Structure 1
Amino acid sequence: MHPVRIAPSILSADFSKLGEEVRAIDEAGADWIHVDVMDGHFVPNISFGPAVMKSVRGVTTKPFDVHLMIAPVDVYLDAFAEAGADCITVHYEAGPHIHRSLQHIKSLGKRAGVVICPGTPAKMLDYLLDMVDLVLVMSVNPGFGGQSFIPSQLKKISAIRTMIEKSGRDIDLEVDGGVDAAWAKRCIEAGADALVAGTSVFRGGPSAYAANIAALRGD
């Protein structure tokens, strides 16, 4: 298991100065930059596309952890790879051929991740762990920031950690949704080694980002 990585979601950043915000969370100690892409179809919100992501790619050398909440997803994989994604994560629920999506991400030379929503059981990963570099557990229903953590997902995180250990593969276990310092501690105890946080990182402005990130780590 890796030391915990913190991936601030730029969905909660000030979009009027997105480049400055990305630079600020980099300097504040972010490990990854989490990019939430929503299409208004698979989820009830629209965020941004590959052009916006590409516009801030040069601001940091930190990995771009790209979470695609879009359906269909396959037709956009190349665009996000070209825009600078390091890891591309797609939803199990977003289409009928998850293996095809993961295979395509790998063919682009990117890390491949799979996301499961709160109502999707861990057992759906049984035939996917041999293909992925990351599993993302949604601890809220995807589509909006600022939601409350769904406690039942802790049991799922523990189950997936056991599955990963049994697989013998080096797979990151990430959690996204309602993660504040208190829930971060419980997620880490359950087996998570990467945490996405939006509101709890960006609260208070740039001068607070380092302390907010440290609090999530439990420092």
Structure 2
Amino acid sequence: MSFTRSIKIAPSILSADFANFGAEIRAIEAEGCDWVHVDVMDGHFVPNLTFGPPLCAAIRPHIKTVMDVHLMISPVDPYIDAFAQAGADVLTAHLEAGPHIHRTLQAIRGAGCKAGLALNPGTGIDAVEHLLDMVDLICVMTVNPGFGGQKFIHSQIDKVKRLRAMIGDRPIHIEIDGGITTQTAPLMAAAGADVLVAGSAVFKGGSVDNPGVYGENIRAIRRAAEAATGAMA
């Protein structure tokens, strides 16, 4: 994973066909996605239950880009090695998930993964300042974690702007997770985000038998975001 601030689209497989993950992943990658986002939920830290390490290991051979695993679980530390061994490229833990986030980030890097730090909508960025040298990615939740398809929380735009200023020239991605559409993508890209997680906005209307729709959706989100940053060719 070489670092760039170019816009990256990371479809969330939470919105894919659960019975057909391999084909869904091959389809979105063929249609131009940059990363594949895996939402891990434990029914404890967030009110939903999704995937574990065996699922990540099963889909890893199908992912040729970046496997971006978002751990919405608490505690995190006992599971880091399992998700790393399952093939995660990026492992993101929540600031709110435990009292020793510095140790968690150390453990993620120690397991050979890029370390991500996620922030819920109600969490400020003051605590992030002392963790910047420990992280490769900061994920700003623009919905409350737990379910796909929620409405975008606009108060997070200013958070991203302040976070981008705090990061400065450090090679840290800013990822946005929640409510990304062609309307909200440009708002976040203009604020300083470079990784956009999109679930229903990518998968809606398409299927493995009609994957061109995925490509149209991915390109539309990318165009909208790039237009807001002046990056369009």
Q: Normalising TM by the smaller chain, what interval?
A: over 0.9
The alignment partner of 2:130 has SS state of coil
Moved over 4 A (4+): none
Instruction: Name the residue aligned to 1:72.
Output: 75
1:173-212 equivalence runs, <5 A: 173-205=174-206, 206-212=211-217
CA distance in 2, matches of 1:30, 1:216: 11
In structure 1, runs of 5+ residues without a counterpart are none
Aligned partner of 1:48 among 44, 47, 51: 51
- Cα displacement (A) at 1:28: 0.9
- Looking at structure 2, the residues matched to 63 and 45 of structure 1 have their Cα atoms a distance apart, in angstroms, of 24
Answering whether residue 145 of structure 2 is matched by residue 145 of structure 1, we say no
1:216 correspondence with 2:221: yes
Shift of 1:169: 1.3
Determine the structure 2 residue equivalent to 1:170. Answer: 171
Deviates more, 1:205-214 or 1:83-92: 205-214
CA distance in 1, matches of 2:84, 2:66: 12
- 1:86 and 2:89 equivalent? yes
SS in 2 for 1:189: helix
The Cα of 1:108 is off from its aligned counterpart by 1.0
Residue matched to 1:120? 123
Q: How does 1:12-27 map to 2 (within 5 A)?
A: 12-27=15-30
Deviation, structure 1 residue 123? 1.5
Aligned-pair Cα RMSD in Å: 0.9
For residue 207 of structure 1, report the CA deviation from its aligned partner.
Answer: 2.6
SS at match of 2:132: coil
User: What do the CA deviations read for 1:85-120 (whole angstroms, capped 9, x no partner)?
Assistant: 001000000001001100001111110010000000
Alignment of 1:100-139 (within 5 A): 100-139=103-142
Amino acid in the other structure paired with 1:8 = P
Q: Secondary structure at the match of 1:35?
A: strand
Q: CA shift at 1:60, angstroms?
A: 2.3
Offset at residue 136 of structure 1 (A): 0.3
Identity of aligned residues (%): 56
Look up the match of 1:7: 10
Unmatched segments (≥5 aa) in structure 2: 225-233
Which whole-Å CA distance do the structure 1 matches of 2:65 and 2:43 have between them?
28
Partner Cα distance (1:201, 1:144) in 2: 16
Structure 2: how far apart are the matches of 1:140 and 1:85? Answer: 23
Shift of 1:48: 1.1
Counterparts of 1:37 and 1:19, CA distance in 2: 17
1:22-77 Cα deviation digits (max 9, x unpaired): 11111111101001000000000001101011111111211101100000010000
Q: Distance in 2 between matches of 1:179 and 1:157?
A: 14
Task: Give 3-state SS (helix, strand or coil) of 2:134's partner.
Answer: coil
Cα displacement (A) at 1:189: 0.6
TM-score (norm 2): 0.91
